[in-house]
Structure 1
């Protein structure tokens, strides 16, 4: 039944995509982030829904008369440079065959991110994009939260198998990133029942994140919560809510969960943590040897660990977006990735400064704030996970760019209109005065 439902939704969307190409982006995000076909057990599990949606979107993009130019902002230029550099490092990859397989997966995500930048243009588009991300990840948050409550927190929460968020740590970070986006939808929703439903969903996402037993997620949610409190205009209310909600959630979790979280304080004795450190040293030493290009995609190989890692037999993936970028794309790749994050953050800060005192742009102010909160969670949690190519942060980058361009354009138009109205008012005033008074006022205004 699930297979049929997903198939009907995807095939039913194709005529809409041909008419409105931005719908293709929304469908792509839904399929790539939620992976709804993995929730079935029949033919849909291996059906190429994403390829079909992408193909129809490109056809629609080619024929549409709507605006579809790539916004050439500083963020976009850095993103272009980062993607181009991935291609360069693939040419010089240490393991070309393995690197090509991974490149083929990653470049599709990056290509569709470019299409997202081209098609997501309006306030409606941006808010629909956020809604699709929230629905796609929130499904697993609500489901995982209920599962954790029913099991008493004994059983671990996992994501959909075979996806970016399939592991317990990965799904936890994705859910943490979703909570601020849910809060944004809660802020802009006029329906009180929707707001209450989103409150419940946020709590269930938090419970599911705890139920993942992810220590990195705990650090991420702490950092994100602290930043959210600092950015909030209702610090007292938010602090009171945290005091009410956090202790019961922590008390609900079983002793085995507490023991795992306490191991953060004894990381020197934890094999998993030491394995991460080993992988980080391997990536750093590899980048020192190949500072420009790194090793290319797929460097978690026994030969490289034997050559570059302190413990050659403890082979792990990078388990860090930063060391993953360093090991696979060298210091240049890491620099471009960090610069991309910094400029995306600066874009959000510009939106916040420009709209802070304007009620007509509170949607943009709150969106930029919540995306920044979400990115804080990813920046902290991603330090312990190999999620360099996780697509959601790139979609949030696109939403930030689209929002800034939209706000910037409208503010300029309103400023120009205000100047015209001021000049018209002056001219009307001059028309009602005698010649000597008109000359004096015209001279003052000039």
Structure 2
């Protein structure tokens, strides 16, 4: 069939779908899916990446004009269809790695904690609505890419998404939209968006910073320049959230990058320490109504975290094996907190979240998975030192270091960042493993 006839057929099909939709409404979506199947099957990895970006960066909540399109739901269905079809076609070439096993074991324990949860309805709502999607997408990211060029696109999409969210955060800050405590920027707070919490917004913005740091030193002059501009926007938007966890994540990323670029340890320590102090001054944390300079001794924000961490530890002591259940911390805060001020508090710590919601056993399994990811990431960093994928390997390592540090103040245990990193680490390790290493690992 000639190119002209293909275009004519596509135009006629589009017009037919529009006419049927105009007459019958949403029933035409079923027909539309049939026409989209070839693209979904051939570009399953890109579709999965689109779903991850919309789910993690909450693009549809940041720009409410996209809400009626139901893009996350459509991408979720397309991702599952494409993943199932591709895995069926490639079932003989799928590589199972030890990190997959550790992920499955931890996920199984999270499911056990849901069964034993104090509020099973809330636990399973989070498990079915969020965590199981994250779990499936790790396998999608690690198995679907067949070429390194596909992985090279991921940092671009993450950095671009971060630029969109960071730019909107700076716009809200400049116009006084959705500010918390008078100074801390948020996005979509009026519609109940996840980005409506300054700490969660800082977490979302922190993820692409690691890749922006790595790619600022790679590529041609224009690519480096654009990446540096994006990095500045991301840093300024994180500063606008006045999140201490966000500042620690930035400082740890800069410190890890300085270690990679310098043979000395002292210089990166001094440089990152000075940088952290400068970031704190620029962020204006002393101006916060909670945790600011106006409070004597240990500020209200810090004490709130200490009380929350004490509550988390008490939950783990009372339920050492399974904890109180996934997403059950808030519902149990009153019963385990040593201090009650009339409202529940978020845990604001990855480690305390895991220990409270999955118990000591869950924390051990989580740490084993995390250590396994760090080992593979460090191995990639060394193996790809002179490889074209070196910037991606550096970005993944910086992301892992930033996660471990910022996790002390940000709740990321069952959220997207770590699991996206794990999926990319597994995919990069699989696609860059030389035949000799692969043969050795199989034996």
TM-score interval for Structure 1 and Structure 2 normalised by the shorter chain: 0.7 to 0.9
CA contact (8 A) 2:323 2:358 kept: yes
Q: How far has the Cα of 1:120 moved from its partner?
A: 2.9
Is the alpha carbon distance of 1:267 and 1:21 closer, same or farther for their aligned partners in structure 2, counting shifts above 3 Å? Answer: farther
SS in 2 for 1:339: helix
Is the alpha carbon distance of 1:381 and 1:108 closer, same or farther for their aligned partners in structure 2, counting shifts above 3 Å? Answer: same
Unaligned runs of 5+ in 2: 1-31
What does the per-residue CA deviation read over 1:145-173, in whole Å, with 9 as the maximum and x for residues that have no partner?
Answer: 4665788x984322445454442112223
SS in 2 for 1:397: helix
Match of 1:33 in 2: 56
Match of 2:299 in 1: 270
Match of 2:422 in 1: 397
Question: Could you tell me the TM-score, scaled by structure 1's length?
Answer: 0.77
Total equivalences in the alignment: 398
Q: How far has the Cα of 1:294 moved from its partner?
A: 0.8
CA contact (8 A) 1:215 1:260 kept: no
Is the alpha carbon distance of 1:268 and 1:334 closer, same or farther for their aligned partners in structure 2, counting shifts above 3 Å? Answer: farther
Q: How far, CA to CA, are the matches of 2:165 and 2:314 in structure 1?
A: 38
Q: How far has the Cα of 1:79 moved from its partner?
A: 0.6
Is the alpha carbon distance of 1:218 and 1:397 closer, same or farther for their aligned partners in structure 2, counting shifts above 3 Å? Answer: same
SS in 2 for 1:82: helix
Unaligned runs of 5+ in 1: 1-9, 416-446
CA contact (8 A) 2:309 2:347 kept: yes
Match of 2:399 in 1: 374
1:60 aligns with 2:90: no
SS in 2 for 1:349: helix
SS in 2 for 1:139: helix
Match of 1:144 in 2: 169
Is the alpha carbon distance of 1:263 and 1:156 closer, same or farther for their aligned partners in structure 2, counting shifts above 3 Å? Answer: same
What root-mean-square deviation, in Å, do the aligned CA atoms of Structure 1 and Structure 2 show? 3.7
Spell out the pairing of 1:158-307 with structure 2 (5 A cutoff).
Answer: 158-161=186-189, 162-190=192-220, 192-233=221-262, 257=287, 269-301=298-330, 304-307=332-335
Question: Could you tell me the TM-score, scaled by structure 2's length?
Answer: 0.78
1:130 aligns with 2:152: no
Is the alpha carbon distance of 1:290 and 1:366 closer, same or farther for their aligned partners in structure 2, counting shifts above 3 Å? Answer: same
Match of 2:16 in 1: none
Q: Which moved more, 1:178-187 or 1:248-257?
A: 248-257
What does the per-residue CA deviation read over 1:31-57, in whole Å, with 9 as the maximum and x for residues that have no partner?
Answer: 212322224445x42543223222223
Match of 2:46 in 1: 23
Q: How far, CA to CA, are the matches of 2:327 and 2:276 in structure 1?
A: 39
What does the per-residue CA deviation read over 1:372-413, in whole Å, with 9 as the maximum and x for residues that have no partner?
Answer: 212222222221222222212211111111111222235659
1:88 aligns with 2:116: no
Is the alpha carbon distance of 1:223 and 1:247 closer, same or farther for their aligned partners in structure 2, counting shifts above 3 Å? Answer: closer
CA contact (8 A) 2:334 2:344 kept: no
Q: How far, CA to CA, are the matches of 1:240 and 1:332 in structure 2?
A: 38
CA contact (8 A) 1:70 1:117 kept: no
Is the alpha carbon distance of 1:233 and 1:148 closer, same or farther for their aligned partners in structure 2, counting shifts above 3 Å? Answer: farther
Q: How far, CA to CA, are the matches of 1:234 and 1:27 in structure 2?
A: 39
Is the alpha carbon distance of 1:332 and 1:249 closer, same or farther for their aligned partners in structure 2, counting shifts above 3 Å? Answer: closer
